[in-house]
Amino acid sequence: MSEQPGTPPGEAPPPTRSRRRGWGPVWWQLALFLAMALLLNYWVASRVTTGPPRISIPYSPTFLQQVEAGNVASVTSKGTTIDGTFKRALRYPPGDTKATRTTLFATEVPAFADTQALAALLQRHDVVVTAKSPSSGTSWFVTLLLYFAPTLLFIGLLVWLFRSSTGGAGGSLMSFGRSKARRVEGTETGVSFEDVAGIDEAKAELAEIVDFLKSPEKYRRLGGRIPRGVLLTGPPGTGKTLLARAVAGEAAVPFFSMSASEFIEMLVGVGASRVRDLFSQAKAEAPAIVFIDELDAVGRSRGGGFAGFGGGHDEREQTLNQILTEMDGFDSSTGVIVLAATNRPDVLDPALLRPGRFDRRVSVQPPDLNGRRLILGVHTRGLLLADDVDLGALAATTPGMVGADLANLANEAALLAAHRDHERVEMADFSDALEKILLGTERKIMLTPAERERTAYHEAGHAVVAMLTPGADPVRKVSIIPRSTSLGVTFSAPTSDRFNWDEQYLHGKIATMLGGRAAEEVVFGNVSSGAESDIQQLTELVRVMVGRWGMSPEIGPITVLPPESESRFFGMAEGSPEQQRLVEHEVHRIVEEAHAEVRNLLEQHRDQLTSLALALLEHETLDESGAYAAAGVASADDAVTRR
């Protein structure tokens, strides 16, 4: 099964983590609140200090003219500023019809003005004159507003920050040490064992965990102890996360889910604090399940690692140490079970895997033929399928695919059917969707006639060699339509799942890979760059056969190449330089012998090669029956008989 790349139609959507309500992240709220408070403070202060609105008029000639006209009732002097009242409302500027009439005005007395003459003029026209000190008239409220309001506001923000940091774990300033685990009630996961198909062995092992969570007394009565930790291992997409959610759904207990990378922050000690908080929450809700995804993000081996490399920084090691301590600090009677998932169990610290911590390992491997059929059944529940859809036949053409791949296949088929305006999803939609996933999207490029002919013979060479070589996989489709980085494709797949590759089967794969290049040599007398991918794949395959699988009489059953997990990261090799040279010599010998056999085979069956190439030039794409018919072979089974 897949690890929930999307919710299959007809199933309840996965629970989502509750989000903090409001305007957005806490820092945006703070910024908005601070800006609004400061603007309000400015507006109130300006209104209190300036009083009612007044029109500003020039001292000369407007103010002096109004005094001489007897229109000024009173004035108040405050330094060089004069505020006054007209007897009759005045509009200023005089010609501005949009200006408001008012009796309140203000003006500034120039420094060079004759104040004694001004005083005499005001007295002569019976203007009431008062005076105020520039610093007088400011009330205690205005002083508090102007000088202390920003300080009080800042103190209030600090108090609010402190209160919010201690009141929840979501996004506040002091909440770095709180766990970010998503808590879901088991009944709300929307997943049960019925939704997990194709991995029955893993389900059977986890059924015991579910039974313990439902009936713990049955085990305690006999003195049994349920494993404290269960480690789910397997390739990506096989359904490890989905299995963990299904366990919680079946047991109907709280489910705390968190990725191991979420423990780590830039601040030292945060990861360990989050581990403590996570386990505290789980113990408070016991019985409960704690699920840590991608455990290798913090659980990598401490110390030297591979060949002196590895280890980790202090924060990761502190987090790992805290996980080890927490798993030692509770027993199975608390009802808390830790599930963890990783696709790299080989790099985990041995302290994690010892009995008493993760003392049970459940391997979740890619499904077999029947498992893929069941998985397709789960992912096509909500699809409107046509009568010609055969999930068994579709499962047979998808060897090696895991649940996530099959979920993607079902979705791509549904999208393709909708794009084609089909009433139901047809088998052709699944076939084309599989072709798109495995071979890539069609490229709209125009090949020259010479390039198109060379591509047709190249793909025909692959197909004919696969049809006529014992042990090779049957040809399912041949196409000269450019896809992804290739100008054509030949798709071969076994009739049943293979769990062990013998030498005959491997030599059949090598011969098929060499068929395209050999066909170009036979037909055109030269080769092109079109065989680059084929050469790379067969070289890697032959090198593994010789250096790791002991399939060379010169090397013998000796491992000369490192395990895949180590070579993937360090590119290292085992053995002496002489052994390495011998490996390369054997790789070259096996490839050259296979190349000579393939070329000889195509020269003997030149007519079949040409017939298939001409059919490809005419139809561009041939399915299994069309390809075998064009090559003069009735079916794949008949090809085996003729060998």
Print burial letters for 167-193: b (CB count within 10 Å at least 16), e (below 16): eebebbeebbbbbbbbbbebebbbbbb
Verify that 487 and 509 share a domain, yes or no.
Answer: yes
* 22-75: pLDDT as tens digits: 444 555 666 676 677 667 766 666 655 555 678 888 888 888 888 888 889 999
Residue 344 lies in a domain: yes
Looking at 412, 439, 466, the residue that finishes a domain is 439
Token pair in block for residue 515:
């068929």
Token pair in block for residue 530:
């079109």
- Run of H or E residues at 106: strand 102-108
Verify that 129 and 211 share a domain, yes or no.
Answer: no
Task: Clarify whether 188 is annotated catalytic.
Answer: no
**Amino acid identity of 478?**
V
Catalytic entry in 459, 520, 586, 624: 459
- CA-closest candidate to residue 59, choices 33, 92, 101: 92
Asked if residues 493 and 441 have their Cβ atoms less than 8 Å apart, the reply is: no
Verify that 478 and 543 share a domain, yes or no.
Answer: yes
Verify that 355 and 379 share a domain, yes or no.
Answer: no
* pLDDT on residue 306: 45
What are residue 476's phi and psi, to 5 degrees?
Answer: -100, -35
pLDDT band at residue 237, thresholds of 50, 70 and 90? confident
In terms of pLDDT, which residue wins out, 220 or 548? Answer: 548
Neighbouring CB atoms inside 10 A of 6's CB total: 15
Looking at 315, 339, 363, the residue that finishes a domain is 363
* pLDDT on residue 170: 43
Verify that 395 and 320 share a domain, yes or no.
Answer: no
Residue 12 lies in a domain: no
Residue 177 lies in a domain: no
Verify that 381 and 504 share a domain, yes or no.
Answer: no
* pLDDT on residue 147: 59
* pLDDT on residue 22: 43
Asked if residues 176 and 265 have their Cβ atoms less than 8 Å apart, the reply is: yes
Verify that 87 and 198 share a domain, yes or no.
Answer: no
The predicted model gives 579-604 an average pLDDT of: 90
**pLDDT above 50 for 392:** yes
CA atoms within 13 A on the CB side of 233: 14
* 118-171: pLDDT as tens digits: 888 888 888 888 887 765 555 555 566 565 666 666 777 666 666 655 444 444
- Run of H or E residues at 476: strand 475-479
Which single residue is written with the structure tokens 């498992």? 371
At 435, which CATH number? 1.10.8.60
Residue 174 lies in a domain: no
Torsion angle, CA of 191/194/196/198, rounded to 10 degrees? 180
Query: What is the 3 state secondary structure string of 332-370?
Result: HHHCEEEEEEECCHHHECHHHHCCCCCCEEEECCCCCHH
**pLDDT above 90 for 247:** no
- Run of H or E residues at 131: strand 128-132
C-alpha dihedral sign at 608, 609, 610, 611: positive
Verify that 192 and 263 share a domain, yes or no.
Answer: yes
Verify that 323 and 432 share a domain, yes or no.
Answer: no
Q: Pairing between strand 229-233 and 360-363?
A: parallel
pLDDT band at residue 521, thresholds of 50, 70 and 90? very high
Print burial letters for 406-438: b (CB count within 10 Å at least 16), e (below 16): bbbbbbbbbebbeeeeeeebbbbbbbbbbbbbb
**With left for phi above 0 and alpha for psi between -120 and 50, is residue 440 left, alpha or beta?**
left
Verify that 75 and 199 share a domain, yes or no.
Answer: no
**pLDDT above 80 for 182:** no
The predicted model gives 280-291 an average pLDDT of: 81
Residue 18 lies in a domain: no
553 preceded by a cis bond (ω within 30 of 0) = no
Looking at 363, 396, 430, the residue that finishes a domain is 363
* Lowest mean pLDDT across 107-116, 551-560, 631-640: 631-640
Total domains in the chain come to 5
Provide the H-helix boundaries in 400-531. 403-419, 427-439, 449-468, 503-524
What are residue 90's phi and psi, to 5 degrees?
Answer: -130, 140
Distance CA 313, CA 304 (A): 13
In the sheet where 72-78 sits, what is the strand order? Answer: 55-56, 102-108, 81-90, 72-78, 128-132
Residue 522 lies in a domain: yes
Q: Pairing between strand 102-108 and 72-78?
A: unpaired
Distance CA 94, CA 196 (A): 86
Residue 17 lies in a domain: no
Verify that 111 and 157 share a domain, yes or no.
Answer: no
Residue 158 lies in a domain: yes
* pLDDT on residue 419: 92
At 559, which CATH number? 1.20.58.760
The boundaries of the domain holding residue 67 are 52-137
The predicted model gives 169-182 an average pLDDT of: 51
SS3 content of the chain, % helix, strand, coil (to 5): 50, 10, 35
* pLDDT on residue 24: 47
- CA-closest candidate to residue 546, choices 509, 590, 592, 498: 590
Asked if residues 128 and 86 have their Cβ atoms less than 8 Å apart, the reply is: no
Highest mean pLDDT among 439-453, 559-573, 629-643 belongs to 439-453
* Lowest mean pLDDT across 185-194, 384-393, 591-600: 185-194
Distance CA 396, CA 493 (A): 9
In terms of pLDDT, which residue wins out, 151 or 464? Answer: 464
- Sort 65 into a burial class: Cβ within 10 Å, 0-12 / 13-18 / 19+: exposed
Q: What is the mean pLDDT of the chain?
A: 78
Neighbouring CB atoms inside 10 A of 526's CB total: 8
At 71, which CATH number? 3.30.720.210
User: How many residues make up the chain in this entry?
Assistant: 643
Verify that 306 and 399 share a domain, yes or no.
Answer: no
Distance CA 354, CA 352 (A): 6
The answer for residues whose C-beta is within 8 angstroms of residue 638's C-beta and 6 or more apart is 628
- Sort 343 into a burial class: Cβ within 10 Å, 0-12 / 13-18 / 19+: middle
The pTM assigned to this predicted structure is: 0.62
